[in-house]
Amino acid sequence: MSDALPPSSADRENEAVRLGPLAAFHMAISFLTRLPLPSPRHVGPGALAKSMHLFPLAGVVVGATGALTYALASLLLPPPLSALLAVAATATVTGAMHEDGLADIADGFGGGVDRERKLAIMKDSRLGSYGAVALLLGLSLKAFALAALASPGWVAGALIAAHALGRAAIPLTMQLLAPARETGLGATVGTPSISTAGIGATLALLIAAAALPAGAAFAACMAALVATLGVAWLAWRQIGGQTGDVLGATEQVAEIAVLLAAVAFR
């Protein structure tokens, strides 16, 4: 008789949601963008968390969309207008889901007097003054950074690095913080493993290194890390954990930090 213990329910669940690379990439793209793709077949509990190591590749798709938009627009328009169109393209392809998270935590953290009130405000779909200001500042910083880079080559590298590193910040934040509420995206998708978060971070670092010159790539990676840790610390202080809005805001702040670093070290 074997002394081995029977597999636990958690082991069986993990086995059930093992994804191949193509299935994981499909799930990452389907979740992080609004591209018209067939629905993923692997939708069991924990499947999305299992795909998070490929979130940076979904970021490459979004960044490349913005880069192509900028390159085409720059044939006829000056950098400021081309930059605005590039930012609009990335927001369109993602459904502005991360921008929504940034606005929601600005409203919640800025307008709530206690943890429960902050969470309630974040769940409200209406946009408040704090959220409007945060959204305007975030979009403006991205557009101004792209306009400052000006060259389509630099814009492409910065956008691809920013969106890859921003998506890698999502599983990292989920490793750092427990869900702040029992329902919602931050609690229901499962927690990515340390290896999943690590692979995602490594992949994003490689993408940034390929997209930008060495000095700018290093600065971009450090900026993304500081931004991620900063938002995680703020969320821990404000609500004691993460939610889907916190994850979206983390992506946005990391993305903006990378673009600013690219401008500074161009």
Q: What count of Cα atoms within 13 Å lies in the side-chain half-sphere of residue 255?
A: 31
Cα–Cα distance for residue pair 43/98, rounded to 1 Å: 22
pLDDT single digits (tens) 148-190: 999 999 999 999 999 999 999 999 999 999 999 877 665 677 7
Question: Using an 8 Å Cβ cutoff, are 178 and 242 in contact?
Answer: yes
Per-residue pLDDT tens listing for the chain (266 residues)? 344 444 444 444 444 456 688 888 888 999 999 998 887 665 666 788 889 999 999 999 999 999 999 999 999 999 999 999 999 999 999 999 999 999 999 999 999 889 999 999 999 889 999 999 999 999 999 999 999 999 999 999 999 999 999 999 999 999 999 999 877 665 677 789 999 999 999 999 999 999 999 999 999 999 999 999 999 999 999 999 999 999 999 999 999 999 999 999 98
Q: Which residue has the tokens 């390159």?
A: 71
Tell me the helix, strand and coil percentages in the chain, rounded to 5: 75, 0, 25
Residue of 167, 103, 186 whose CA lies nearest to 138: 103
CB burial of 98-125 (b: ≥16 within 10 Å; e: otherwise) equals bbbbbbbbbbbbbbbeeeeebbebbeee
- Rounded to whole angstroms, the maximal C-alpha distance in the chain is 76
C-alpha to C-alpha distance for 142 and 136, rounded to whole angstroms: 10
Token digits for 210? 């390929």
Residues in Cβ contact with 118 at an 8 Å cutoff, skipping those fewer than 6 apart: 108, 109, 111, 112, 238, 239
Q: What pTM was computed for the model?
A: 0.90
What is the spatial distance between Cα 237 and Cα 109, in angstroms, rounded to a whole number? 10
Domain boundaries, the chain: 53-264
Q: Which two tokens stand for residue 248?
A: 């979206």
